[in-house]
Amino acid sequence: MAAIGDLHCSQASQAAVQASFAQVAESADILLLAGDLTDHGRPEEAHMLARALSTVRIPVVAVLGNHDFESDQQDQVRDIIAGAGVTILDGDACEVRGIGIAGVKGFAGGFGQRALGPWGERTIKQFVREAVDEALKLEAALARLRTPQIVALLHYAPVEQTVQGEPLEVYPFLGSSRLEEPLSRYPVTVVIHGHAHRGRLEGVTAGNVPVYNVSQPLLVRMFPDRPPFRILELPATPTETAPS
């Protein structure tokens, strides 16, 4: 699997994105996109990404990120990218080459004992409710899979380890440990996310499931001599089914 997040596709980056996709096709059997597919969530950016994806001949599975919601046109962005043959997950799951993939954008709120709680003003409770709802969507997606290998594909981080390196002040906006809870209740093989451009490459959940931060800016900085995507190898069965 090739995995990358935070493409932020725009007029300025379209050529670089297309070049990356050309290299992906030579290196992997599946491409996973961990959100922030566009820079400002505009339909014209989604069309640019769709054109860049036109040369990719392997299955592509994606989730949206916060940038894809910026212009309040996320439904159009989703439809345009899905029209390019991409399976976009939002609380649902699919099976590709025998590997189960559960996907959700996720949300913010912080980690562990410092996670924001639903107390006080209505807006705080709504904020926390969003994180809880995203965790419930992830749990529902995981519950639908029966494959030997299961990948959880997110945009926001489910653990603090992979956001370390970012300013402490923004930790609460980079992910939520509520997303980790369903990962401990199902036999997840690996977790992939983006969003933390200055975080760490790898971490683990409390249940020792590996977590990979595949944010493109992080990959470019850490591996300047490599193509800007992460390759992960999982054993797969020959069965392939349509999205469930």
Which value, in Å, is the radius of gyration of the alpha carbons in the chain? Answer: 17
Q: 131 is written with which tokens?
A: 């994180």
Question: Please, which residues bridge with residue 92 across strands?
Answer: 103
Q: Report the 10 Å Cβ neighbour count for 55.
A: 11
- DSSP code for 215: B
pTM metric for this prediction = 0.94
- Distance, CA of 21 to CA of 52 (rounded, Å): 7
Q: Which two tokens stand for residue 34?
A: 């961990």
Residue 237: the pLDDT is 57
pLDDT at 18: 83
CATH (one of 3.60.21.10, 1.10.4030.10, 3.40.50.1100, 2.60.40.10) for 2-231: 3.60.21.10
Give the angle subtended at the CA of 45 by the CAs of 40 and 48, to the nearest 5°.
155
- Domain spans in the chain, listed from the N-terminal domain onward: 2-231
Specify the 3-state DSSP secondary structure of 149. strand
- Look at residues 145, 132, 146 and name the one whose alpha carbon lies nearest to residue 181: 132
pLDDT tens across the length of the chain (244 residues): 999 999 999 988 888 888 888 888 788 999 999 999 999 999 999 999 999 998 899 999 999 999 999 999 999 999 999 999 999 999 999 999 999 999 999 999 999 998 999 999 999 999 999 999 999 999 999 999 999 999 999 999 999 999 999 999 999 999 999 999 999 999 999 999 999 999 999 999 999 999 999 999 999 999 999 989 999 998 655 544 444 4
Q: In what order do the strands lie in the sheet with 2-4?
A: 87-88, 60-63, 31-34, 2-4, 230-231
Of 160, 167, 136, nearest to 211 by C-alpha is 160
Tokens found for residue 193: 């996310």
